[in-house]
Structure 1
């Protein structure tokens, strides 16, 4: 009898132990990882600091796009946009140059997410911070609204800040853990020779923005002279404005006054283009940069909107930035090669104020 009781007791203890283990496993499986309030606050501050950093660096002007990817490339999938533009900073770019398997600390990847109609809907960022989260190669994740507000999501009855150790980002990108959690392209392939050549080409849009900043800082419409012999709002013709006002910097002005044949490196000619009602429509600029385009007398061309944005045009299904070696400008002004690509007036002709 005692033996039977002992056997029953042993079986009961075993059942309870196994049952507890099963319950424990079920609980562990369903348990939701929680982020503490302090971690949330830290992530929010870090994301805000990150936003200020990328805005301060004007990433869309000064950073490179992902090698081999153009603006608004297709292939985006949920939760990203239908169209994507991806920028990377110098530490991230160096990964490609060196053919490394992982991004180095400090690397930042910015993905602009667009709807099919090219409306920007969000900006997602990966920032590698040494020691931040070793389990996922130290990536800090953040999703911003276009105005810089940190995106939130409702889940598990809580409002989650999409910054820091974002569970959904980690879960999805874990499929690419062998590629440093990155989907865009394989890091170990490095950069093709064609892309390397492309990367060595001057950053035209950056050059255009620097030129605009120079013009504004020098307050050209106050401190520069108008083209000798031309007044404000003289008559123009297509593709320029109905009325034109042309300014020149000192380097260009001296050539005109001394009746030389060509403008020197550093010469800048600014043409303000006005509509018939004398509202300004655009600002076109010629800047001579030594070695930039020897086949076209080294002129750098750019067309700005009145607010300083570099203008674009659609051609053959592509969006063309109107800066640098602009084919339309070169083709038209090429008719004036004997006058240094300039239509305004012959350089060798004497000018009077």
Structure 2
């Protein structure tokens, strides 16, 4: 039935039938089998429609939805835009969400008629250009579009007489043509401008397409380090470092300095006991490094820091403190700390805390502000009355 035609008539009479046929564009029944409610994907049979997944009584069904007038769908996301170029309409739609890869920027086959050159720059660092070179001066029209995984926007149209009609209204893009060169210039590029700038040239006999990638670079941010306050000898803890490593993505390092050891050790995060998770975002990459470690006695008074490293965006003369977390020190509580029989004991890491010894272990508690731990009988008192032992 796919590709068939439908006509409506009264009592089978051709004389009273609709004026034109409607083509059938079938959607595979299982296209939403791995999708969820309100997921969307490109329509596999029509550039002018998308598939919306709707859950009804526990089952997800596909529904074909027409794009607004003069708009076309993105093959992967299903989102409609004014980009109805040949490149968009010829893209293959994945057979379903089971096989849909992570969204990728559309790939354009190399053309012998035009070549574009990408560029990279830091965010808000001034003008940046994407330059495309034609191998001939005659053409019918040129469309310049901006493409990302989520959108496709027409920027400008160039007529055969080389008149440029700027469609973009942001005020920060200039499109020029001179001789055989098309230049797309961004006056002060930001993260949202990172993507593909596609130039489609209508040569009459064919449409030649090329693209230039604009990469917006950003530096890392200062990461945060999380270490449990209450650390007991020979017990396992999780040391967590989280931070934006910049774009393109850098990495996080955990720096360990043992007591009475001059050298700082950079933890090898490829070890089995280290977990790394990444969350790419626009112009940033959030990374989390988690170290699960059993704290033997040699960890006592060890200082730890976390550092964001990015060889592409962090300059050598940058202050490394900007990319390094605050320092944290591990102060171990001895495993047999409660063997003296006291229920309450001072906490070796802080005068504002104390250790409570229980039958099945120990816990740390904090005195009400601004009090400090005093002794086993009067747990908390004025801090000026309390001798505070050094760790």
TM-score scaled by length of structure 1: 0.22
Structure with more helix by fraction: 1
Give 1 or 2: higher strand fraction: 2
Q: TM-score, normalised by structure 2?
A: 0.21
